Amino acid sequence: STAVKPIREALRLPAGSQVTVRGWVYRRRDLGDKAFVVVRDSTGIIQAVFTPESPGHALARKVTVESSVIVGGALREDPRAPGGKEIAGRNIEIVGLAENFPIRRDASREFLLEVRHLAVRSRKMTAVLKLRSTVFEALHEWFRSNGFYEVHCPMFISAAVEGGATLFPVKYVDGSTVYLTQSSQFYLEALIYSLEKVYTVAPSFRAEKSRTRRHLTEFWHAEAEVAWTGLEGILKVEEELVSHIVRRVLEKNREELELLGRNLEPLKNVEPPFPRISYDKAIEILQGKGLNVKWGDDLGADEERALTEEFDKPFFLYGFPVGVKAFYHKNDPSRPEVTLSADLLAPEGYGEIIGGGERIEKLEELLDKIKQFGLNPSDYEWYLDLRRYGTVPHAGFGLGMDRLVTWIAGLDHIVDSIPFPRTVTRTYP
């Protein structure tokens, strides 16, 4: 028998070639005395047709969906077959005969989540996971080629970064209570004093009460911190990073984007500079659209969705009011009621994918703000120390990787962007 080839490569061979492929039975049906077996591997699908003269005919009729198989035969043109070619099946080896596979075409979203350990085999999920892999690969590529060091921060932390309401407490081995990290930001801020430009990609945990299409309780968080820079400096990093990632997906995952039915035009627009609008301007636009918002309100998914209608590429929303953002954001010296913060909103209704901004670098200013926010300074002792020993202006951001994948892939729910989503109601499988 010939050497096993990935299906994508087998399909490129000339008709008449002897091929052997291996994978899982994607579809199986009988038509008259012929057995049609469609095999799936990580590169695609190919049809094999077994006639009564084929040595493998009997096995081909008995093989079940999702059985693992090795199939051999001669390649031939057939415009009706997926990929325009099929295998005139000669032999089939059943490596693992599958029991009755529980997933049917009309399976509900909830059932597909319940059997996600099997549903990850679907062509849609396979396409999303390949695209997700490119997104992470491109992120590392960009940071590493722009002078950033990858660092790793603890998952067990002692104080809230993004507010106490979404902390997951953990009973630690010594009996104390610690928390799962919401963000590596403070540790990155410590690391800029040695490496100056740092990034990390790790899970963050938020006990979000809200059941929405863009919240997970465990999500993948790419965070970066840069010494000696301010708000505009970090926005430039963000727009170049996101543009690079989208460009790489367009280069590498056309097939997957097509399988997902993604309209590519919005993605082709993703080039720096991105538009920048102030929070003030955003409130004006939203009020002009008849939304019931006033200055000082936080902006939720509905408001963000309405704003994205004004743009055909990602855009920055900067200058949030002090009360809307976390304590560590630096107040604008020229307008102390607003902060030097900025979110990056993805178009097409997706909204926030990045949160970030300039940090408070002066010790007294940070101490005042911690107290203003009713927080306990002793919970932030080591974070305050960073301002006692050679403080520098610095800025950073956090990019929600699952939200980024959801937008780029054009998915309608964040749970479809990650293999095993964790939400308010799901920690299984």
Ligand X SMILES: NC(=O)C[C@H]([NH3+])C(=O)NS(=O)(=O)OC[C@H]1O[C@@H](n2cnc3c(N)ncnc32)[C@H](O)[C@@H]1O
Q: Is 356 in the site for ligand X (CB under 6 A)?
A: yes
The span of 50-58, 146-154, 322-330, 352-360 binding Mg ion (CB under 5 A) equals: 352-360
Nearer to Mg ion, 314 or 355 (CB): 355
- Residues 209 to 238 in contact with ligand X, rule: CB under 6 A: 215-216, 219, 221, 223
- Residues 386 to 415 in contact with ligand X, rule: CB under 6 A: 396-398, 400, 402-403
Least Å from the CB of residue 355 to Mg ion:
3
Q: From ligand X, Mg ion, none, which one binds at residue 267 (CB under 5 to 8 Å depending on kind)?
A: none
Q: Is 355 in the site for Mg ion (CB under 5 A)?
A: yes
Q: Is 347 in the site for Mg ion (CB under 5 A)?
A: no
- Residues 185 to 204 in contact with ligand X, rule: CB under 6 A: 185
What element of type H or E holds 130? helix 123-144
Which residues sit opposite 397 in a β-bridge? 224, 356
CB-count exposure of residue 191 (10 Å: 0-12, 13-18, 19+): buried
Question: SS3 string of 265-319?
Answer: HHHHCCCCCCCEEEHHHHHHHHHHCCCCCCCCCCCCHHHHHHHHCCCCCCEEEEC
Contact 316, 277 (CB under 8 A): yes
Contact 221, 183 (CB under 8 A): yes
Distance CA 196, CA 177 (A): 32
Distance CA 308, CA 313 (A): 8
Distance CA 248, CA 252 (A): 6
Q: From ligand X, Mg ion, none, which one binds at residue 306 (CB under 5 to 8 Å depending on kind)?
A: none
User: φ and ψ at 259, to 5 degrees?
Assistant: -60, -30
Q: From Mg ion, ligand X, none, which one binds at residue 185 (CB under 5 to 8 Å depending on kind)?
A: ligand X
Least Å from the CB of residue 425 to ligand X:
14
**How many residues of this chain interact with ligand X, rule: CB under 6 A?**
22
Distance CA 124, CA 415 (A): 13
- Residues 82 to 111 in contact with ligand X, rule: CB under 6 A: none
Q: Is 400 in the site for Mg ion (CB under 5 A)?
A: no
What does the DSSP assignment read for 17-83?
A: -EEEEEEEEEEEEEETTEEEEEEEETTEEEEEEE-TTSTTHHHHHH--TT-EEEEEEEEEE-TTSGG
Least Å from the CB of residue 20 to Mg ion:
51
Nearer to Mg ion, 126 or 166 (CB): 166
Q: Is 161 in the site for ligand X (CB under 6 A)?
A: yes
The closest alpha carbon to 399, from 270, 272, 235, 229, belongs to 235
Residue 53 sits at the vertex; the CA angle it makes with 50 and 55, to the nearest 5 degrees, is 70
**Strand pairing category for 197-205 and 149-150:** parallel
Q: Is 274 in the site for ligand X (CB under 6 A)?
A: no
Q: From Mg ion, ligand X, none, which one binds at residue 394 (CB under 5 to 8 Å depending on kind)?
A: none
Nearer to Mg ion, 351 or 355 (CB): 355
The span of 80-88, 134-142, 227-235, 353-361 binding Mg ion (CB under 5 A) equals: 353-361
Q: Which position among 134, 355, 380, 386 is part of the footprint of ligand X (CB under 6 A)?
A: 355
Nearer to Mg ion, 40 or 214 (CB): 214
Q: Is 208 in the site for ligand X (CB under 6 A)?
A: yes
Q: From Mg ion, ligand X, none, which one binds at residue 5 (CB under 5 to 8 Å depending on kind)?
A: none
- Residues 94 to 113 in contact with Mg ion, rule: CB under 5 A: none
Q: Rule CB under 5 A: which residues touch Mg ion?
A: 355
Q: Rule CB under 6 A: which residues touch ligand X?
A: 161-162, 183, 185, 206, 208, 215-216, 219, 221, 223, 352-356, 396-398, 400, 402-403
